[in-house]
Amino acid sequence: MTNTAQRVQEYAAHSFHTWSRQKGWKTPLLVNDAEGVYFYDHTGKAYIDFSSQLMCSNLGHKNKAVIEAIVKQAEKLPYIVPSFANEATMAAVEALRTVMPKGLDKFFFSTSGTEANEAAVKMVRQACTPAYKVISRYKSYHGSTAASISLTGDPRRWYAEQARFTIPGVCFAPDSHCYRCPFELAYPQCGVQCGKYLDYMIREEGNVAAIIVEPIVGTNGRLIPPPEYYPMLRRICDEHKVLLIADEVMSGWFRTGTAFAIEHWGVTPDFITTAKGASAAYTPVAVTATSERVAQFFEEEVFCHGHTYAFHPLSAAAIPAAISELKKVMASGLPQRVSAHLKQRLYALAEKHICVGDVRGIGHFWALELVKNRKTREPFDVKADKFSTKALMAGRVAGDAMQRGVYISPWYDTLVIAPPLIITEEQVDEALAVLDKSLEIADTEAVDTGTAVCHSTEYQK
On the CB side of 84, CA atoms within 13 Å amount to 11
The two beta strands, 104-110 and 286-291, are antiparallel
Q: What is the pLDDT of residue 257?
A: 97
Helices first, then strands: H and E counts in the chain: 16, 16
DSSP conformation class of 447: B
Closest CA to 96 of 287, 243, 232: 287
Q: Where are the domains of the chain?
A: 3-62+332-460, 64-329
C-alpha distances (whole Å) from 301 to each of 55, 82, 105, 290 are 36, 19, 19, 15
The two beta strands, 406-407 and 38-41, are unpaired
On the CB side of 261, CA atoms within 13 Å amount to 30
Closest CA to 286 of 245, 324, 250: 250
On the CB side of 83, CA atoms within 13 Å amount to 1
* 3-62+332-460 and 64-329 share one fold: no
The three-point CA angle 417-423-425 to 5° equals 90
Tell me if 52 sits within 8 A of 418, measured CB to CB.
yes
- The whole-angstrom separation of Cα 17 and Cα 426 is 34
Closest CA to 107 of 336, 275, 257: 275
* pLDDT average per 10 residues of sequence, the chain (461 residues): 89 93 90 98 97 98 98 98 97 98 97 98 96 97 97 94 94 97 96 97 97 97 97 98 98 98 98 98 98 95 95 98 98 98 97 97 98 97 92 97 98 97 98 98 96 87 60
Q: Using CB atoms within 10 A of its CB, is residue 436 exposed (0-12), middle (13-18) or buried (19+)?
A: middle
Q: Judge if the upstream peptide bond of residue 188 is cis by omega within 30 degrees of 0.
A: yes
Q: What is the pLDDT of residue 191?
A: 96
**What CATH number has the domain spanning 64-329?**
3.40.640.10
- The whole-angstrom separation of Cα 165 and Cα 25 is 25
What residues are paired with 208 via a beta bridge?
A: 133
DSSP conformation class of 23: G
State CA 420 to chain mean position distance: 14
DSSP conformation class of 45: -
Determine phi and psi for 36, rounding to 5 degrees: 65, -125
**What CATH number has the domain spanning 3-62+332-460?**
3.90.1150.10
- The whole-angstrom separation of Cα 323 and Cα 334 is 16
Q: What is the pLDDT of residue 87?
A: 97
DSSP string, 199-252: HHHHHHH--EEEEEE-SS-TTTT-----TTHHHHHHHHHHHHT-EEEEE-TTTT
Q: What is the pLDDT of residue 458?
A: 81
Q: What is the pLDDT of residue 461?
A: 60
The two beta strands, 271-274 and 286-291, are antiparallel
The sign of the dihedral angle between the CA atoms of 419, 322, 271, 339 is: negative
DSSP conformation class of 171: E
The three-point CA angle 144-148-150 to 5° equals 95
- The whole-angstrom separation of Cα 153 and Cα 172 is 7
DSSP conformation class of 452: P
